[in-house]
Amino acid sequence: MTTVANKVSTPPSIALGRRGLLVTRNAWDWLFAALTLLGCAYAAWRYHASMDGYELAILFASAPALLALGWAWRPLQVLTLVSGGAALLAIQLYLGQVDSFGADLAAGEQRFLLKYLLSSQSAILWMSVLTFLSTLFYWLGLFQKGQHSSAESMGSRLAWAAVAMALIGTLVRWFESHQIAPDIGHIPVSNLYEVFVMFTWMTTLFYLYYEERFATRALGAYVMLVVSAAVAFLLWYTVARDAHEIQPLVPALQSWWMKIHVPANFVGYGCFALASMVALAYLLKTASPRALLIGLVAVPTALVLVLLVFRFGVELSAETRTGLEAWARKMGGVALFLGMAVALRKPLTARLPELLRLDELMYKAIALGFAFFTIATILGAFWAAEAWGGYWSWDPKETWALIVWLNYAAWLHMRLLKGLRGAVSAWWALIGLLITTFAFLGVNMFLSGLHSYGTL
Q: Count of H helices and E strands in the chain?
A: 17, 0
Question: Is 292 a domain residue?
Answer: no
Of 49, 72, 95, the position where a domain reaches its end is: 72
CB 232, CB 224: distance < 8 Å: no
For the stretch 83-140, pLDDT in tens is 999 999 998 888 874 444 567 788 778 888 998 999 999 999 999 999 999 999 999 9
For the stretch 164-187, pLDDT in tens is 999 999 999 999 998 887 778 888
Question: Do residue 393 and residue 436 come from a single domain?
Answer: yes
Question: Do residue 134 and residue 278 come from a single domain?
Answer: no
Q: Would you say the C-alpha torsion 379, 382, 388, 390 has a positive or negative sign?
A: positive
Sequence-distant (≥ 6) Cβ neighbours of residue 93 within 8 angstroms? 107, 111, 113, 114, 118
Q: What is the mean pLDDT of the chain?
A: 83
Provide the number of structural domains found in the chain. 3
* 122: nearest Cα among 138, 135, 110, 104: 110
Question: Do residue 229 and residue 156 come from a single domain?
Answer: yes
- pLDDT reported for residue 4: 41
CB 365, CB 429: distance < 8 Å: no
Domain range enclosing 217: 74-247
For the stretch 27-76, pLDDT in tens is 899 999 999 999 899 888 987 877 778 778 888 888 899 999 999 999 99
Question: Do residue 122 and residue 187 come from a single domain?
Answer: yes
Question: Is 318 a domain residue?
Answer: no
Question: Do residue 129 and residue 227 come from a single domain?
Answer: yes
| Residue 16: pLDDT over 80 | no
Question: Do residue 163 and residue 49 come from a single domain?
Answer: no
User: Binning pLDDT at 50, 70 and 90, where does residue 153 land?
Assistant: very high
| pTM for the structure as a whole | 0.86
Question: Do residue 433 and residue 379 come from a single domain?
Answer: yes
Pick from 138-152, 229-243, 256-270, 315-329: least confident: 315-329
Q: How far apart are CA 183 and CA 247, in angstroms?
A: 10
Question: Do residue 172 and residue 262 come from a single domain?
Answer: no
CB 311, CB 325: distance < 8 Å: yes
Burial status of residue 289 (CB atoms within 10 A of its CB: 0-12, 13-18, 19 or more): exposed
User: Binning pLDDT at 50, 70 and 90, where does residue 225 land?
Assistant: very high
Q: How far apart are CA 248 and CA 138, in angstroms?
A: 39
* 432: nearest Cα among 396, 398, 407: 407
